[in-house]
Amino acid sequence: QVHLVESGGGLVQAGGSLRLSCAASIRSSNAYNMAWFRQAPGKEREFVAALRRTGGYTYYADSLKGRFSISRESAKNTVYLQMNSLTVEDTAVYYCAAGTQIQSAIRDQHSYSNWGQGTQVTVSS
């Protein structure tokens, strides 16, 4: 239904920036909410940011708001995650996800039906 491919991960120094990309190949006529999640070693997967399928509304984890931003280029079917002022604690595998859930569930990883393979982000001190 939706094939997602993340890219842009890598090694960056603390205080630096990185932009992740999620290219979506959508075969369905549905509009999709798009989101980023991350999973650090030994920790549960957590919500990072989301973009609602209509209206362009954005959502962020409270701890990340102001440093991370989500955006899209509709013509390219691509969603981005701009990450600034990175810290070692931001080190994780970052996953792109797509879903048709209602607004109240947009932060819930279990409500997403489509996932990318993930891209590693490593922040060094």
Burial class (CB in 10 A: 0-12, 13-18, 19+), 71: middle
User: Residue 124: its pLDDT value, please?
Assistant: 97
Strands 2-7 and 18-26: antiparallel
Degrees to nearest 5, angle at CA 62 with 74 and 17: 60
Q: Is 44 helix (H, G, I), strand (E, B) or coil?
A: coil
Nearest to 99 by CA among 91, 108, 90: 108
What is d(CA 94, CA 38) in angstroms, rounded to the nearest whole number? 4
User: Residue 62: its pLDDT value, please?
Assistant: 95
User: Residue 52: its pLDDT value, please?
Assistant: 94
pLDDT in tens, 14-26: 999 999 999 999 8
Query: Which residues, 6+ apart, have CB-to-CB distance to 104 below 8 Å?
Result: none
User: Residue 68: its pLDDT value, please?
Assistant: 98
Q: In what order do the strands lie in the sheet with 78-83?
A: 2-7, 18-26, 78-83, 68-73
pLDDT tens-digit profile, the chain (125 residues): 799 999 999 999 999 999 999 999 987 767 899 999 999 999 999 999 999 988 789 999 999 989 999 999 877 789 999 999 999 999 999 999 999 999 999 999 999 999 999 999 999 99
